[in-house]
Amino acid sequence: MDVLVIGAGAVGLTTAISLAEAGLSVTIRTAVLPEQTTSVAAGAVWGAVKVGPADRVLEWARAGLEVLSKLAAEPGTGVRMAAGREVSRVPLEPYYWTPLLADLRPCEDSELPDGFADGWHYTAPLATMPVYLGYLRARFERAGGTLEVSPVASLAALAGAAPVIVNCSGAAAHDLVPDPAVVPVRGQVVIAANPGVEEFLINRDPEPPWIVYMFPHGDQILLGGTNDEGNWDTEPDTEVAERIIAGCAAIEPRLRGAEILGHRVGLRPWRPEVRLESEPLGGGVLWHNYGHGGAGISLSWGCAAEITRSVLG
Ligand SMILES: Cc1cc2nc3c(=O)[nH]c(=O)nc-3n(C[C@H](O)[C@H](O)[C@H](O)COP(=O)(O)OP(=O)(O)OC[C@H]3O[C@@H](n4cnc5c(N)ncnc54)[C@H](O)[C@@H]3O)c2cc1C
- Give the CA dihedral 134, 101, 254, 108, nearest 10 degrees: -170
Q: Please state the atom number of ligand 1 nearest to the C-alpha of residue 266.
A: 53
Residue type, 93: E
Q: Round the average pLDDT of the chain to a whole number and report it.
A: 97
Q: Please state the atom number of ligand 1 nearest to the C-alpha of residue 12.
A: 25
Mean pLDDT score, 243-249:
97
Mean pLDDT score, 255-260:
97
Q: Please state the atom number of ligand 1 nearest to the C-alpha of residue 189.
A: 1
pLDDT in tens, 25-72: 999 999 999 999 999 999 999 999 999 999 999 999 999 999 999 999
| Mutation to probe ligand 1, out of 14, 27, 29, 30 (largest number of atoms < 8 A from CB) | 30
| Spacing, Cα 206 to ligand 1 middle (Å) | 24
Q: What are the angstrom distances between the C-alpha of 282 and each of 12, 275, 285?
A: 22, 20, 8
- DSSP conformation class of 283: T
- Ligand 1: lining residues by beta carbon, under 6 Å: 6-12, 29-32, 37-39, 41-45, 47, 151-152, 168-172, 176, 187, 189, 224-225, 266, 268-269, 290, 292-298
Nearest CA among 185, 155, 161, 132 for reference residue 301 = 132
Look at residue 207 in the predicted model and tell me its pLDDT.
81
From atom 7 of ligand 1, which residue's Cα is the shortest distance away?
44
3-state helix, strand, coil in the chain (%, to 5): 35, 30, 35
Look at residue 266 in the predicted model and tell me its pLDDT.
98
At residue 208, does pLDDT exceed 80? no
From atom 3 of ligand 1, which residue's Cα is the shortest distance away?
42
Look at residue 69 in the predicted model and tell me its pLDDT.
98
Q: Please state the atom number of ligand 1 nearest to the C-alpha of residue 188.
A: 1
Please state the length of the chain.
313
From atom 15 of ligand 1, which residue's Cα is the shortest distance away?
294
At residue 157, does pLDDT exceed 80? yes
At residue 206, does pLDDT exceed 90? no
pLDDT greater at residue 234 or residue 94: 234
Contact between 51 and 293 (Cβ < 8 Å): yes
Give the global pTM. Answer: 0.98
